[in-house]
Amino acid sequence: MFTGLVQAQGTVRTVAPRGTGRVVWIESPLRELLLGESVACDGVCLTVEKEERGAFQVTAGEETLRRTTLSEIAPGKRVHLERALLPTDRLGGHLVTGHVDGIGALTRVDRRPGFIEIEVGCPESLMPYVVEKGSVTIDGISLTVNTVTRTSFCVGIIPHTADVTKLGAASVGQPVNLEVDLIARYVRRMLTPWLGAENADAALTRTLRANGFLKESE
């Protein structure tokens, strides 16, 4: 479990095939990583398999490559890093599993003095889980949703987030890993047996709209 508060940026050193997956070495400022511990890499929960001073090894399996931007990982690429949450840590972001739901793309990057607004095109299947003022994870970063349309949502990037993450240099068309809110995911799952998958989405949308989380046009 993670919080979506990026602790460091790492740099991919090497990428090598392993069956249908890939073995990746990441140069990292994180120290004393334990073998077997989980580290979120661009929001993807991966297991530390080897560790040496200044770097660690993980394996991205077939499912991970299919669902995340790690399919495009290459030497020199920077990745957001976060170690797993301790029970005594502050929950500064929101509950993040590191299990990416899908890939979105940046459709607008609006830079203003001291602020960046980013619009993210989101897969249709994930849009029922995205609500105004709710939480979403983008490349492992916990962010608050400012506005929602039928096919996208907007988030704001403050100077600190721009400085410590890759979103400070974000560009239109850039693919990003998306993880929707954990609670919303379970609410939909609990509705599905009674209403069916399509009706569960419609019921959730109606409930969100009735309680002011969505506008009538959305």
pLDDT > 70 in the chain, percent: 90
pLDDT tens-digit series, residues 56-88:
999 999 999 999 999 999 999 999 999 999 989
**Looking at the domain that runs over 8-83, which CATH code has it been given?**
2.40.30.20
pLDDT tens-digit series, residues 148-193:
999 999 999 999 999 999 999 999 999 999 999 988 888 777 776 7
Residue ranges of the domains in the chain? 8-83, 102-210
Cβ-based neighbours of 39, under 8 Å, separated by 6 or more: 30, 33, 45, 46, 47, 48, 56, 58, 81, 82, 83, 84
Give yes or no for a contact between 107 and 119, defined as CB atoms under 8 angstroms apart.
yes
Determine the pLDDT at residue 197: 59
DSSP 133: T
CB count in 10 Å sphere of residue 196: 12
Class of domain 102-210: mainly beta
